[in-house]
Amino acid sequence: MAKGQDIIVENDDDDCRLSTWITRNNKLLSFNSVNTLCRKGLIRVNGLKTKASYRLVAGDTVSMPIPSLKTLDNKTKLKFDPLLEKELKDSIIFKDEYLIAINKPEGLASQGGSHQGDRHIDAYKSTLQFDSNEAPRLIHRLDKDTSGVLLLARNAKAANMFTSLFRQNLIEKVYWALVEGVPRKEEGIVESYIGKLDIWKPNFQKELIQEKSSWNRENKKKALSYYKVIEKVGSQYSWLQLKPATGRTHQLRIHCAELGTTIVGDRKYRNSQSRNYKGTPFGSKKLFLHAKSLTFMHPVSKKTTIIEAELPNHMSLVWKDFGWEV
């Protein structure tokens, strides 16, 4: 490995994705560059080759090469899609000196990763720079298949302020979902421990998949979500309001499945009795999960700020068919 720099991960960065942590702290590197460096083993954690998706632990030592960064970035220059640039600009729902919020389209990844190529928001963040001296930075992320409110800080100072709000759980997140069936209790809490399972495929390649409900705490993290039924169609479908108190991967999808009410369009956490099992209803294969709003006290103005995102088309059409008012 090329001689470079070793950085110790601090407590505040515990559980941060490696790629996010590097791009936040090293302006020379794009997300694609980090992926490439990790694949080549040029970025290591505690001396070991590590995936860009690795979740850091306080005290980890991240080793990065100083040479070749410029060369690598030259190889990963993007060819911007003007249609996607326009879509992102049109998706802006809030903008001030410190923050930009967009209504992220379903099917567009927040960050790069396997099979994502360059079509993700992190790669196009300069499109949203406008009059700022810095390109905006993602403060959090939404899954590719989830639409809704996504925040980007307009400078490093703002990134630190809003990241701190998320870490202290001072931002209320509200999601809307269309699920199959109706929970036995129309309002309640889902609490479990979520982690990864090692699954060996027939070709003997190991794959990490998200585990469903488990109280076995080994290698897992506590996940807590609040839910409430807003509307329902008999016993077939429900409109759920979901408020995650923690931020685990696929947390809401897993918790809805644990309630026995799979999110419509979720083919990963369905079961054999699910209407999603052999196809999706409503003529859409999209996931019916939307990040509806974020509420927080603005760290500069000290005013309560509520940012809301309209439902995507595939969800609003079903809401209209069911006669549900939003």
pLDDT in tens, 93-107: 999 999 999 999 999
Mean pLDDT of 59-78: 56
Asked if the domains at 4-75 and 82-168 fall in one CATH topology, the answer is no
Rounded mean pLDDT of 15-26? 81
Q: Is the per-residue pLDDT at 207 higher than 60?
A: no
pLDDT at 177 over 90: yes
- Rounded Cα distance, 283 and 257, in Å: 21
Q: Tell me which CATH code domain 173-322 carries.
A: 3.30.2350.10
The pLDDT score that the predictor gives to residue 295 is 98
**Model pTM?**
0.74
Pick from 227, 121, 122, 218: nearest CA to 175: 227
Q: How far apart are the first and last CA of the chain?
A: 56
Average pLDDT, the chain: 82
Specify whether domain 82-168 bears CATH 3.30.2350.10: yes
What are the structural domain ranges in the chain?
A: 4-75, 82-168, 173-322
Residue 143 annotated in active site: yes
- Tell me what pLDDT residue 217 has: 56
* Percent of the chain whose predicted confidence (pLDDT) is above 90: 48
DSSP per-residue codes, 274-323: STTSS--GGG--S--EEEEEEEEE-TTT--EEEEE-PPPHHHHHHHHHHT
Give me the architecture of the 4-75 domain, per CATH: Roll (3.10)
Residue 123 binned pLDDT confidence (cut-offs 50, 70, 90)? confident
How many helices (DSSP H) and strands (DSSP E) are in the chain? Answer: 7, 15
Number of C-beta neighbours around residue 168 at 10 A: 8
Question: How confident is the model at residue 216, as a pLDDT?
Answer: 53
- 177 alpha carbon, distance to own chain's centre: 16
Q: What is the pLDDT of residue 22?
A: 84
* pLDDT: which is higher, 148 or 72: 148
- Which entry of 6, 13, 81, 143 is annotated as an active-site residue? 143
What are the C-alpha distances in Å from 272 to residues 52, 196, 205, 228, 230?
34, 22, 25, 25, 26
For residue 274, the model assigns a pLDDT of 58
Q: Report whether 277 contacts 270 (CB < 8 A).
A: yes
